[in-house]
Structure 1
Amino acid sequence: MSGLPRSLHALVTGGGRGIGRAIAGQLTRAGATVTVLGRQSAVLNEAVAAGDAHFADIADVADQPAISAAIARAAARQPIDILIANAGIAESAPFAKSDSALFQRMMDVNFMGVVYSIQAALPSMRDRPHGRIIAVASTAGLKGYAYVSAYSAAKHAVLGLVRSLALELANTGITVNAVCPGFTDTDLVAGSIDNIMKKTGRSHGQAVAELAKHNPQGRLVRPEEVADAVVWLCGERAGAITGQAIAVAGGEV
């Protein structure tokens, strides 16, 4: 965590649980003022009460007016220096059963949610001396997996956005990167584990192993490991790192 300037304002979408909550907590402990956004007030308020964030606001990243208004409220308290575009959803289905509505849901939240968040935060960030934009993508954006074509397509789109925007902002002091976790021990993956158990009759341990087998280390990634990578990218010493997609996946990619 060394090298993180003090008194920065970091905003984390999907910051109430899982990877987002871990990132918010790490940034708070590194000295940043942290605002978490999400759709569920209870988990957001719990993050604040636990000391993992300072402020919370309700917004669905797929709703452009709502996310723009929430980010404007946060910036009015203190200009935003760091944006962590973390909010996301995942659904699985064979491609033949993946209808246009499924693809649209995945794109609306996982891709357009990132676009809307950046569009809202970037104008004021340009006036700051230290700017960091980090999207939480996925190894599914680097390699793909069977039965998640819509999710994978959305995450690939995020990486294209990151790489292009990094070049546009290269001379501004704002860096733009993505972290790409493998299967991580979160509520989202717990849902996938439950789905495997229901569809295949496997035990919980067998379902976990089915996901962990993708990781050469033979385990699920911990949210704190993803958060550590994000906090490093937010630091002054990572100023030359931009346009990158950094896998946190035990060597899978």
Structure 2
Amino acid sequence: MSLSTPQVILITGASGGIGRACAIALSEAYPKCVLVLSGRRADALRETADACTGPTEIAVGDVSKDEDVASMFEMVTKKYGRLDVLFNNAGVDLLPSTPLEDADMATFRRALDINIMGAVLCTAAAIRLMRTHGGGRIVNNGSIASSAPRPNAAAYTVSKHAVLGLSRSTSLDGRKFGITCTQLDIGNAATDMISHAARGATQADGSVRPEPMMRVENVAKTLVFLAGLGADADVMRMEILAAGMPFIGRG
């Protein structure tokens, strides 16, 4: 199989965790590709950039804010004139283990703004740019929570179900522009956000049990594969999770 070579890839939430691991792997796989690293913390983005082997561009901003997304894509358009791959990876879990009836609704809305509207704003801007040069690929970090929620995780679950709807709509509406969209659902990759599951996570029956974890590099290898697919291939949805973790039959 002959893989294509992307020229410009934008990764949101690139300051650490899955975003950083994916940036490093992509820079090694496609050393001539420009990686645009987006996030809210300039110092952490620079650390990611320093760990990459190829050219990088830092775009500091909040993907839930229209003006920050507009500024980021204006920079990409002016400097590079194209975008081949967008990885909508930025996301938060602001209300872990919180029953819906006890949730602070301002915090709930903030989680939705980042997880949903961040992906919506970046996707809309990416489509506008990608359609000018024949298409591209969008990958959304959806989480396996888009299929099976954890207990007391309504905010995160609602947001990831919405991302699945965005992925499917983008895949459908992007056809006429040569734009594909993949929902990449990830479970128990060893990052700061989910590392607590290795010590113990609440199960559907109320018990707390340690869960298997996988190295985040497995996710990075998956994104490298998706980024390198030819324009004639579309992956609608993919799940990658720690072997043996409770998912099928989770509830």
| TM-based fold match above 0.5 | yes
Identity of aligned residues (%): 31
Contact map agreement 1:183 1:212 (CA 8 A) in 2: no
Between structures 1 and 2, the one with greater helix share: 1
Report the TM-score when normalising by structure 1.
Answer: 0.84
Shift of 1:241: 2.1
What are structure 2's unaligned runs of at least 5 residues?
Answer: 205-210
Shift of 1:183: 1.7
Question: What does 1:122-137 correspond to in 2, within 5 Å?
Answer: 122-137=127-142
Distance between the aligned counterparts of 1:4 and 1:71, measured in 2? 26
Q: 1:159 to 1:149 in 2, by over 3 A?
A: same
Question: For 1:178, what is the secondary structure of its paired residue?
Answer: strand
- RMSD of aligned C-alpha atoms? 2.2
Shift of 1:211: 4.0
Per the alignment, residue 180 of structure 1 pairs with 185
Report the TM-score when normalising by structure 2.
Answer: 0.85
Contact map agreement 1:137 1:178 (CA 8 A) in 2: yes
Per the alignment, residue 108 of structure 1 pairs with 113
Per the alignment, residue 235 of structure 1 pairs with 228
Shift of 1:88: 0.6
Deviations 1:48-100 (Å, cap 9, x if unpaired)? 12225611110101111112211221232212111111001002111121132
Per the alignment, residue 70 of structure 1 pairs with 72
Question: What does 1:57-206 correspond to in 2, within 5 Å?
Answer: 57-78=59-80, 79-91=82-94, 92=96, 93-190=98-195, 193=196
Aligned residue pairs total 233
Give 2:128's aligned amino acid. P
Shift of 1:7: 5.1
Per the alignment, residue 200 of structure 1 pairs with none
Distance between the aligned counterparts of 1:150 and 1:213, measured in 2? 17
Give 2:24's aligned amino acid. G
Q: 1:212 to 1:26 in 2, by over 3 A?
A: farther
Question: For 2:132, what is the secondary structure of its paired residue?
Answer: coil
What are structure 1's unaligned runs of at least 5 residues?
Answer: 194-206
Deviates more, 1:136-145 or 1:50-59: 50-59
Distance between the aligned counterparts of 2:172 and 2:49, measured in 1? 35
Q: 1:212 to 1:177 in 2, by over 3 A?
A: farther
Shift of 1:221: 2.3
Question: For 1:14, what is the secondary structure of its paired residue?
Answer: coil
Distance between the aligned counterparts of 2:72 and 2:171, measured in 1? 24
Shift of 1:22: 1.2
Contact map agreement 1:213 1:219 (CA 8 A) in 2: no
